[in-house]
Structure formats: C-alpha cells, structure tokens
Amino acid sequence: MSQDKAFTMEVRDDGVAVITIDVPGESMNTLKDSFADEVGSLMNRLESDDSVKGVVFISGKPGSFIAGADINMIDGCENAVDAESLARKGQAMFDRIEQLNVPVVAAINGACLGGGLELAMACHVRVCTDNSKTALGLPEVKLGLLPGSGGTQRLPELVGVQQGLTMILTGKELRAKQALKAGLVTEMVPQSILLDVAVEHALKRKPKSTKPPLKGMSKVLEATRFGRDIIFKKAGEQAQKKAQGNYPAIDKIIQTVREGVERGREAGLDKEARSFGELAMTPESYQLRQIFFATTEMKKETGADGVKPDSVKRVGVLGGGLMGGGIAYVTAAKAGIPARIKDISEDGIRHALHYSYERLDKKVKRRHMRRAELEKTMLMLSGSLDYSGFERTDVVIEAVFEDLNLKQKMVADVEEHADESTIFATNTSSLPITQIAATAKRPEQVIGLHYFSPVDKMPLAEIITHPETSDKTIATTVSLAKKQGKTPIVVKDGAGFYVNRILAPYMNEAARLLLAGEPIEHLDKTLVKFGFPVGPITLLDEVGIDVAAKVAPVLVKELGDRFEAPDAFEKLINDDRKGKKNQKGFYQYGKGVKGKPVDTSVYSLLDIDPERNKSAEEIIDICLLPMLNEAAYCLQEEIIRSPRDGDIGAIFGIGFPPFLGGPFRYMDSQGLETIVNKLEKLSTERGERYTPAPLLKQMVENGWSFYQ
C-alpha cells in the first residue's frame, strides 16, 4: 500500500474491494478537500471493474473511523460561494459511493463523526463494533454549521425525522447499541470480527433502501404532513429555548431537513449546500471554529515548553465530599487511573464511592457502558481513614475545607506519608497557592488544580502555579487533567486566579442593579438572551450566597476597591439564604414548585421595589464590561498566559457565550476603542471601578488588538 495516500484499495480473492482510510501523519482520520481526487480515482476503478462484488470502507487507525472533516478547509474559503462549492464537492463524492452497483459497507470502529458519518451513510450497510469508543454523530452545529455533504438528508431517511433532527440540532452522538436500535447501523459486532462481518454483507445482494424503524407516536406523526409540521415546530421551539436565537444554524438546519422531507432529496441537497456556504461566513461560526482550533492546539501542549510529563499511575484524593467524590470519579472513570480516597469518616468514603457508582450506573442504564465496565471502574476506587496506600501515589489531590492551616497540614502529611516525588495538588478556589506551599519541604511539587462543580460535567481545570512550582510538576498536572477529560489552562497564583476573578465584578454589578430595583427575572433573562447559560442571580443561588460572601472580602483585600461587593450579603445570610443548597435564595425551590418562580419575599428583605429601569443593552454593558476589563487586567498581570487561554477559561469555566469567542475575541470584534469609551462613560456614571485597565488604553493608543 502507498504510504502517502489516505485511501488505499486492495481487492481480495473473493472479489471484495477493501478501502482502508489512513491519513498519513495523523492520529485520527479527518477528511480533506484533496481527498476528492483520491476517492474519485477509486470510484473510476470500481465503476469499471466488473470483477468487484462488493466494497468495504474501514479505518487503518485504531479506535477511530473518521472523526470528521478538516475544519481548516472552511477557513480557506473567501466567501459563501467557495464554502458552498466545498459542500457540493462532498455531496458529489458521497453520491458516487451510494450509486455503486455493488454493496458498499462501512466498517465502523471508534469515532464516526461529521463527514465520517456522512460517508458511512452513503454506504448501503453500516456495521459497527461494540467498542465503548464507537460513537456516531453529526456535531457540525457546535461549529455554527450544518452537515454539508448529505447528512441533513440521509440521517432523517435512516432514523426518522424526529431522531434525525434531534441529532443534527444538538450534535448528539449515539453509542453502538443506540445506533443499532435507531437503525443507523445494521449490525453491531466485536472488533475482532468487524472486517469479516463487513465482507459478508459486501458479498450479499445490494440492499434496497429501508424505512426507519419507527414505532408509536413517531410513526404516526411522520406519516402525515400535519404530523411533520408538529415535529418541525416543536424541534424549533426546543432548540431556540436554549439557543435564544443566537445560533443561525438552528433555523437553517430545520429548513434544510424540511426541504428534503417535503420536496425530495435533490431539493434538500441544494438547500443544504447553499445553507452551508451562508453559515460558514457568519461571525458565529467563525468564533466557534476559533474555539475548536484553540482547544485542538491546547491538546498538544504540556503547559511547560520542552518538558515532558511524568507518568501518573496512582492518585490520592483527600476529602470524600462533593468535590473529592467528583475528582475520584473522573480519575477512575475517564483517566482510567486508580484513585484512593482518604477521609476522616467512613461516611465520607462511602459518599465518594457512591458518587461514582451513581454516575456509572446511569451510563449502564443508558447503554453507554456494560455492567462489567462499571465493576472494573469501581475496583479502581478505594478508601482509607489513614494514609495507607498513599506511599504509592504519584499525585495527591486535596479537596478539603477552605482553611489555610488545614491545607498546610495536608501538605505536611503527604510529604511525610507519600513518596518524595509525589505532587501535591490543591483544589482551592480562593486561597493563594503560595501560602499553601509556604511551609512545604518540597514547594516545587505543590500546585493548584482548581476544578469547577460539578466536576464530572464542567470541562475546565485551572492549573495554578506559584513562583517555586517546577516545570515537571506543571507538565504532569496538565497531563493528568487532560486524561480526566478536562481542558486545562495554566494560570499564575493570585486572588480568584482567573475565572473567579473575572466573574466577581460581573456578579457584583448584577447585584447592584437588583438593589437599585431591577427585577430578578429581567436581569437573568437579559443575560441569558445575550448568551450566558444562566443569569447572574440564578448563578448566585447555584454557587451559594454564603460562598460569594466569603470570597468577596478576599478579593477586596488582595485586589482593591473595584471588587467591593454591594451591601446585601449580610441581610441575606442573616435570613439563612444560602441559595439552592438550602432551598432558600432568590428563587423558590422544593416540592410542589413548578417552573422557576422568584421568591418575592427577597424584595422586602432587601427593601426593594422592583421596576424595570434599564434597557437590555444597558444591563449587558453594566454587567459585562467589568468582566472584560478584569480579563484585560489578568492578561496585563500575566495571570493568564495569552488571550487564547483567557477565552477558553471564560467559555469553559463560566459559560461565556461561545459564539462570541470569549472575552478577548469579543473585545476585538467590538473594537477596543469602543470598549474603552464605554468603560470611561460608566466610570463617570457609576464609579471608578469601571476605569479601563492600563493595557486596554495602551492597546487603543497603539492600534493593537488581542488577536493580530
């Protein structure tokens, strides 16, 4: 086989042509524009060779079929016509595969996403492995796009309109069993016999097109125009409820699928290509693609240039609470590394073990994993009331109470009971790492590893360094966080680190607006409409009013008056309002509470007469600009290493609207001069805390931008 080609074909003695996909120099297969000629040459051979009885597409890379198309192709397009042409080229390539006169089988093991699934759906039969890594989906919506090579048409044909729309609108991936049940694959087999079974199918008759395996109400609804109208209407409502009209791809997806369902595939493909071209040029897709490029780039970095991480074979976790349980879970379930939990009580250990069991059991019930895998993962978790077993740990992650003396004692204990090379990682959210390491014998092995709650869902981890942290410690901790499924950013030690530091001013200004009379719903809905996943008052309830009250003075002490919190926390705490955790905060909680009603008694407690005074635009500026300004301060003080890290941290840590690209890309898009002018105006109206960061003023004077 030629080593410089991505698609190579070998015709077996039984007449089956096996086409192996193996992109040179890449760990995973991605489809590139240049491959069209390769596939075209193969199709020419297959169309003219009567001796070929069937075709099998299979990957030459372990654990990966095709992970999608190379997104760089879109960045190379100068306009919508170029992007539309790209889509039509992909459509034509897959049409030729589908139109072959012999059976064509996709043998799928591992990731089969985006253009990979579009290729597989152009085949007449799809066989997949029962590998836990096997996943099929069309995630283009996450890049502000729609599938451009036939996916909007073929997926609904195979699994039904309702299921197809759900998958395309959400980017949802189906595991092997789910794909089999939905009709997306024909057969699921062990990896060891994947090729053999695929060849068997290739030697059968070319199958006729089949209808999706619909049952019950789905079958009734999809059978009539009236029923399909209901499906499209509901799909749009559900998608926009979350997207708030900020993602143009959603309407385009619904229109394109509908075009194919009502007017036929040819019309649908035409609409798909035109929509793909239009979406590729939107600012939303541009920003979402930049996030993709940034996270891809970060996966290759160690956090310390030129330094390789040490291998982590065992992890210790101090504390069996919510954070400790979550850390142990991602260590065992995602990183595949044994975790030993130490707590002062057996109840704490039981709680931490149960935390993992609950999440694994849900996966089993949803057919995402087998019971045997659950049992294997649980065997990687153990607990102890003392430090027995910690002598074999490579990293110990501390998740105890936010008390400096306690954390310093944990450092001393680990240095006594663990190996001399063991890294001590503290999950503090507010205490300076420098102070925690102050009494350490080996301060170079002390580092911050700040997770966000809930640990198993939040994608970010802040790796916090102090002046004595070694590069080897940084690289090893970054590597561990990645294995745990996190996107880590390396930040310098300082009050609030990065994420909490930029969040605090945003929350403070929302609280000031509330105290000035803005209704809670108006504040929250305005910022959700802007693109945040939840509003600031809801977030305050979720984080915990008591937690916010404790963090505020720390930030003021370290960073100055611009972090001064409004005078409301004392009244709230005295009224035992901690938020969601004790079901008493700004919103109502508990049994019998429907929806998300405001607890209006909070208004009288805070002496507020709620009335809308500010427009949505004013609320956004008042709350958002201090966050942007603080992000600039963090870059100026080298708390973060780059605008890229600041954008990823804000998006993955606090849900900054992804389609806006993060604080730094957003400031660039608005124009730094505009940002500075708005800050100066608010500084005059609302106080010196809005004074623009020196870096912003300097950049405006020099005509710079964050991403030049």
3 state DSSP class of 381: strand
Residue of 276, 277, 282 whose CA lies nearest to 253: 276
Burial class (CB in 10 A: 0-12, 13-18, 19+), 172: middle
The alpha carbons of the chain give a radius of gyration, in whole angstroms, of 27
DSSP state of 331: I
Ramachandran region of residue 458, left (φ > 0), alpha (ψ -120 to 50) or beta? beta
What count of other Cβ atoms lies within 10 Å of the Cβ of residue 390? 21
Q: How do 460-465 and 487-492 pair as beta strands?
A: parallel
d(CA 284, CA 289): 9
Burial 412-451 (b: 16+ CB within 10 A, else e): ebbbebbeeebbbbbbbbbbbbbebbeebebbbbbbbbbb
Give the tokens for residue 96: 């030729």
What count of other Cβ atoms lies within 10 Å of the Cβ of residue 397? 26
DSSP state of 346: H
Segment holding 8, helix H or strand E? strand 7-11
* Strands laid side by side in the 173-175 sheet: 64-66, 111-113, 135-137, 173-175
Omega cis (within 30) before 454: yes
**End-to-end Cα, the chain, rounded Å:** 43
d(CA 366, CA 142): 23
The answer to whether the beta carbons of residues 475 and 426 sit under 8 Å apart is no
3 state DSSP class of 262: helix
User: Is 118 an annotated catalytic residue?
Assistant: no
3 state DSSP class of 516: coil
Catalytic residue among 398, 415, 462, 630: 462
Q: What does the H/E/C string look like for 137-149?
A: ECHHHHHCCCCCC
Give the tokens for residue 445: 């092995």
Residue of 422, 464, 461 whose CA lies nearest to 440: 422
Give the tokens for residue 197: 């079974």
Residues in the chain: 708
Burial class (CB in 10 A: 0-12, 13-18, 19+), 43: middle
Residue 304 C-beta-side C-alpha neighbours within 13 Å: 19
d(CA 341, CA 386): 10
Segment holding 386, helix H or strand E? none
Active site residues: 462
